[in-house]
Structure 1
Amino acid sequence: MYTLLSGLYKYMFQRDEYCILILGLDNAGKTTFLEQTKTRFNKNYKGMSLSKITTTVGLNIGTIDVGKARLMFWDLGGQEELQALWDKYYAESHGVIYVIDSTDEERLSESKRAFDLPVNP
């Protein structure tokens, strides 16, 4: 009986989870994008003050529920040392958002190099 009720509960309330990577160079606006997205889609989320956002060291995680789906955003640090870790997350992700600071023209070629980094399977 427990298995039947447990299965019914999961069928009614469990959401499909999708993991999305947010990648880009440091100071490209990845965390700002994540905070703005969480503010827009989570009604009760007040959001972090944009002036208090600092460089991501490691990983920020944000969750948004849209319909019957749960989107988990993984905001990975963009420093050169952390870019080598990006490919470790690809296998677990369902999508990638690559953020480019188009006003920082001096770093556009650096951003292209980071985007073109080979993926180690």
Structure 2
Amino acid sequence: MFSLLYGLWKYLFSKAEFHVLILGIDKAGKTTLLEKLKTIYSDFEGLPPDRIVPTVGLNIGRVEAYKSKLIFWDLGGQLGLRTIWEKYFEEAHAIVFVVDAANHARFDDAKSALEKALRHKDLQDAPLLIFANKQDVQGAVTAEELTTFLDLKEIDERPSFVKEISAYDGTGIRDGVMWLVEEMKRSKRSEMLRQHSDINVVV
């Protein structure tokens, strides 16, 4: 009886918890984004951009937004570090892929890294949010231009959204995160991960 009541209470009052990967090649602005997410969605003031250093390994950020608990995993984007990405794929509900929209010379590298991640079986059906970052920098391409270059429809059929942002000043971030949370709440992948979690609890 207790377990039934607890289950009902948990269903009615607990917030959904989602694990979100922040991926992208080096210098795209991933950690700056993570710190800005902390500033926007929590009482904790994130690090200012001038104190952020390149990520070697993993940074974690926990925030609450849109009646959900979000755990962001920010992974290093240097070529030699991208091999560790797949260690986190299996438990991720969604992907945020950050692109430096002002650095045209590295678009091919970004596209290649994105394609490789999306082909991995452990990221099947994970919603994809692409942030066209550094809109505060002259020469940054629009979301539409980046979408055309990445040719997302040819890569994958999963739910995706490309949003122009500035991780430096926070422009556009809220709209992107709101879309991502709504997608995660109704995605097949989230349901699959929830069932997998329930099985582990029972065992």
TM-score by length of 2: 0.52
Q: Which moved more, 1:10-19 or 1:88-97?
A: 10-19
Displacement of 1:75: 0.4
- Match of residue 77 from structure 2: 78
**1:11–1:77 CA distance, 2 compared to 1 (3 A):** same
Query: Relative contact order (alpha carbons < 8 A, sep ≥ 6): 1 or 2 greater?
Result: 1
Over the matched positions of the two proteins, sequence identity in percent amounts to: 43
Q: Which runs of 5+ in 2 are unaligned?
A: 123-203
Distance 1:104 1:72 in 2: 28
Distance 1:87 1:4 in 2: 37
Q: Which moved more, 1:3-12 or 1:74-83?
A: 3-12
Alpha-carbon RMSD across the aligned residues, in angstroms, is 2.2
- Match of residue 119 from structure 1: 120
**1:110–1:4 CA distance, 2 compared to 1 (3 A):** closer
Residue pair 1:58, 1:77 contacting (<8 A) in 2 also? yes
- Match of residue 39 from structure 1: 39
- Match of residue 137 from structure 2: none
| Counterpart mapping for 1:5-20 below 5 A | 14-20=14-20
Displacement of 1:8: 8.0
- Match of residue 125 from structure 2: none
Q: Answer 1 or 2: which has greater helix percent.
A: 2
- Match of residue 53 from structure 2: 54
Distance 2:97 2:106 in 1: 14
Q: Deviations over 1:33-73 (max 9, x none)?
A: 1111110111x212212101110000000011125421000
Distance 1:12 1:116 in 2: 38
* Amino acid paired to 1:29: G
